Every structure is written in structure tokens, then in C-alpha cells.
Chains A and B, each alone.
Chain A
Amino acid sequence: MKDSKDRVTDISTEVGFAGHVFRNPVTVASGTFGSGIEYSRFVNLNALGALTTKGVSAVPWEGNPTPRVTETPSGMLNAIGLQNPGIEVFIERDLSFLEDYDVPVIVNVCGHSIEEYEAVVERLADDDRVAMLEINVSCPNVSKGAIQFGTDPALLSEVTKRCRAKAKDKPVIMKLTPNVTSIADMARAAEAAGADGLSLINTITGMKIDIYKRRFAIANKTGGLSGPAIHPVAVRMVYEVTHAVDIPVIGMGGIASAEDAIEMMMAGATMIAVGMINFTRPDAVTDIIAGIGDFMKKTGVRDIKEIIGVL
């Protein structure tokens, strides 16, 4: 903490990421914000640094049976199963909707096979409405594909290379799972295969049992844990990964305040994503953006880039 004489008024929150410049480092975690259609009623989408959309696949996905969500201490488990209407509806409806806003779009891509990832990447490679592609190789809730690609370094390398090859000039960000022994090893594999950036962490696989009904709390038995409960794990993993690779990282996992966001950037993240807390406070993301500015002014940080990876 600096003295009050160091208080500044002219601050820059711009960050560069994989060749793009974003007005601030804050996006939303895929799957916690839809495509912004619903939350646009409550949140000024143009305030976001970027908007990351819910995972989209080549064809519509039905997702898992209900119950799909349950609360846990300072968090929640979910097993939605990447329900989505498929890339064609996404392009026609969601990307068209976002055209009316001045916010860079990061599209999260999911697939059951490398070919399915490739099909979505190819479909978006020439679309000017898309800034970057985030490849979801880490969803714990679909039985086939997804997390398998994120837990086996050889498969991760393969899917990274093939998406990179189809993405043309779009940056390809690989979204990593924490459900591995060494996330740094996975990060190195993605970097070596040509990833332009990394997102971490996806949810941590968990389980909850209703002891009175003797049933799993969610129909899929296991679900992904998110929310403030996982924040310290996410900070540790972002720190490990940013010390293992040179490509930039979008840090996420339980960020619920500007302080959490600053902490994640000090651990090494170039950008951060606000996730589960959107469900309970849709305006949390804009509060966090404002709070980052307040922190900078209060502590004499003129340029947000000064704090990235200070530890």
C-alpha cells in the first residue's frame, strides 16, 4: 500500500492479449453469462473488457438430466452438460445480438471429438464479430470428449494444433482443467502445440449426497465446483502456469470482488474472468471493473499492466 500522496487519477486499464488490446482485463467465465442476452437487461455489456460466450458445439447438445445444480459452501456444483443450440443458431441469434454492442467477443468452443472442435473453429475463423476462440478441453460434465482432451497431454497437443490450424488469424486460447496432477505440464503441452493463450481454471470435479434421500444431489452424480470456494486453488494454479509458460493467461475461479481480481492478476493473469458470482449478482462484473479502478487510484497504480505477475 502506497501513501495517499501516491493517489492517481489518470489510470490505464488496457491490456494486450494475443495481439488484441482490451479496454480492461475483465471478461466473464464461459457458461455463467450466456451470450449476454439475458443479463443485458441488468448489465451494461459495453463496460466489459470482453464477453466470453457459453460453450457452443457443431450441433445442438441436449445436456444432462436435472437436477443439474446444487449449492455447496461458498460455491455450487453444476452438471449442465454443455447444453447449447449449436453453432448455426449461435451465429444467427447470439452473434447477431452482440453486433449491437461494443464489446469484444470470445467464443468458447466445445466438442465430443477433434473433428467437432474443428468444425466450429472453421465456421468462426472468418467471422469479424469474434475476437478470440477459447477451446473448452476441460468440461467435467460430458461423458465423451471435452475433459479427456484436457487431461492427456498428447490429446491436448493434438486438439490445440488442429484448432490452431483451422482458426486462421483468430487467437486460440485453451481452457484448462484443474483436475490433473500437474496443470503446468498441460500448459506447456498447449503452448508447445501453438496455443496463443490459456484460460484457467475450469471447475473442480466434486460430489454432493443428500443423506436423507440417499441420493446424489445432482443427476450426473458428479459436478463441477465453482464459486469463491475454489478461488485459492485457482490463484495457485494461475501462479504455477504463468511461471511455466510465456503465453498469456485468463485467470478465473471464484472471483467475486475487485480484490479477488487484483489477486489473480498479481498471481500472473493478464486478464480475469468473473464466473459463478454472475448468477447471484449479475452486476458483480461491472462492480469489479469499477473496483479495479478504485484500487489503482487508491494505491497509485497508473497502469494495470504493472501488477500482472508481480509475485
Chain B
Amino acid sequence: MVSYEMPMDKIRQKAIITENISIAPGVYSMWLETGTLQEAAPGQFLLLYLPDRSRLLGRPFCIAELKENRIRVVYRAAGAGTAELSRLTPNKGVYIEAPLGHGYPLDEDIIKGRKIALIGGGLGAPSLLFLAEELKEKVTAEDSIRVVLGYRDGSMKRFLADDFISLGFETVISTDDGSEGIRGNVIDALKETGYSPDLIYACGPMPMLSAVKKYASDEGAAAYISLEEHMACGVGVCLGCVTKTVKEDPHSHVRNARVCTEGPVFDARDVEI
């Protein structure tokens, strides 16, 4: 059923940049302050509109942290738009739409008594940081959590890893070339630790998510993965950001779920990636 209780001014709002710093080559950490208290769930995302109005589309970023009315975004300067974003200095205002999409399921019956792994590759780590903060509040002594973060190499300065460690979570690092942590990908690193999760939350590049899906299927673990796709509207209208699903869904009827609306987090078993 359609909900009518969200006026435009509730999701579209002006945000002031309070910090925008480089934390690794090409990777930036930005804090944004909005006028009102924010509500969002881990895994939800925002669209950020750039001041250069010839760049019309909002940039989708996951919410890396949320503290009352302050939102953290960690992003890579991948193109001209995000390069413009990286040059914005504190006190500059930008428009954002938030929160959008459906995040990681965190119901008690899903997480209780589970061996949980948070698996992030590259720019997938930010989405898991917000999740880790939320999980810290929810987990009990019966639960266990490990974090596995994969990077290209040591030059990426294992960005955000210390944020997870300071939450008290055991955090394993892998790099493709072994220049930091375990040599190999995140699945190699997970296996090497001997930890066998039965619940996985993952965000990262598509090949990594495919590997996580396969690992979860082989090991009989549940896995929730956050997908990324090019989008225009962010609210389910343009049909730009679809992903193939196993079953016919009630919206598209052609097995094309919208990453922005039904996702970005999906049960790995439900998507064909």
C-alpha cells in the first residue's frame, strides 16, 4: 500500500558540510549537518545533489554513520561529480534526500544467538560501519561478530578499519597483494580465521557479493547483501537501477527489483548476481 505521510520537505533537505577530508587516496569522509533530527536504518542511503546544476542527478551514497542530526558519508572521487564534491569545503550547503531504500534486516529473530560476519570490500565498508554501531547496541553475550574488510592494497590505509576496532569488534583485513593483512580476498580472509558465520551482512563490489552469495549458499549461512546500481530518481520511478530476482516480484512482474526501493539490501538468495 502507498504511504502518504512523507511530504517532500521531509526527505529533501538542505545539509551543511561540517567536514570533508581525505582518509585514503581518492577516498573522502564527509559529515553533513541537517536542521532536524534524522532517522535512518543501517543500509539505507541518501541522494546528494551537487552545487553545479549542470550535474542534475543525485549521487547515491550509503549512510556511514548517523549521530542525531549529523550524517557521515564516505565516498570515492570516481568521476567529475564526486571530484567536485571532494573539493567542497565546510559550511557549504548541499541538498540531500534521505533516508531512502530498505536497509539490513536487524530483527531479533534474525540476529539472536548467531555468529555474525560483516564483510566489506572497498567502498562497501561505510555501509557496514553504521550497521556495526547499531549491532553493538543489539547483540548479547550469546552472539559473536567479526568484521572482514578487503582493500586493493596497503596504500588504501585500511580506511575505516579503526572505526570498527574502536567499537570493540575483531576486525580482519585482507588485501589483493598481501601488502596489509591477509593476502587474498575477503572470503580467503574469512576462511583463514577459521570463523564460520551463520549470518553475513555484506557490501562491496559485485564480484565480491557474488562470492559472498556462493559462500553463504555452500555453508548454509544467511546473507544480506547491499547492491549498487546507477539510478536517476532514487524512489522507484525511473526503473534505472533494477536487479534480476529469482522470483517474480509484485512491482515489476518481470523479476526486476528496484535497488533503490526494494533494496539496496537483498537476501542473497533472492537475487541473481
Residues of A within 8 A of B236 (CB): 34, 38
Interchain nearest-CB distance for A166 vs B (Å): 24
B242:A63 contact, CB within 8 angstroms: yes
Question: Interface size for chain B: under 10, 10 to 19, 20 to 34, or 35 or more residues?
Answer: 35 or more
B56:A276 contact, CB within 8 angstroms: yes
Residue from B5, B6, B239, B261 in contact with A80 in the complex, judged by beta carbons closer than 8 Å: B239
B81:A63 contact, CB within 8 angstroms: no
- Interface of B, secondary structure class, is loop
Q: Chain A 245-279, CB within 8 Å of chain B: the 1/0 string?
A: 00000000000000000000000000000001111
Which parts of A2-54 form the interface with B (CB within 8 Å)? 31-34, 37-43
The complex places the Cα of A12 from the Cα of B135 at a distance, in Å, of: 58
Residue from B3, B230, B256 in contact with A41 in the complex, judged by beta carbons closer than 8 Å: B3
- Interface of A, secondary structure class, is loop
Q: Chain B 9-20, CB within 8 Å of chain A: the 1/0 string?
A: 001000000000
B4:A40 contact, CB within 8 angstroms: yes
Residue of A with least CB distance to B241 = A66
Q: Chain A 49-64, CB within 8 Å of chain B: the 1/0 string?
A: 0000000000011110
Residues of A within 8 A of B49 (CB): 280
B4:A71 contact, CB within 8 angstroms: no
Residue from B7, B55, B58, B237 in contact with A32 in the complex, judged by beta carbons closer than 8 Å: B237
The complex places the Cα of A37 from the Cα of B239 at a distance, in Å, of: 13
Q: Chain A 87-125, CB within 8 Å of chain B: the 1/0 string?
A: 001000000010000000000000000000000000000
The answer to whether the Cβ of B40 comes within 8 Å of any Cβ in the partner chain is no
The answer to whether the Cβ of B166 comes within 8 Å of any Cβ in the partner chain is no
The answer to whether the Cβ of B240 comes within 8 Å of any Cβ in the partner chain is yes
A280:B56 contact, CB within 8 angstroms: yes
Residue of B with least CB distance to A217 = B230
B242:A68 contact, CB within 8 angstroms: yes
The answer to whether the Cβ of B253 comes within 8 Å of any Cβ in the partner chain is yes
B253:A60 contact, CB within 8 angstroms: yes
List chain B positions with a Cβ less than 8 A from chain A.
2-8, 11, 49, 54-58, 81, 229-233, 235-243, 251-256, 261
List chain A positions with a Cβ less than 8 A from chain B.
31-34, 37-43, 60-63, 66-71, 73-76, 78, 80, 83, 85-86, 89, 97, 218, 227-228, 276-280, 282-283
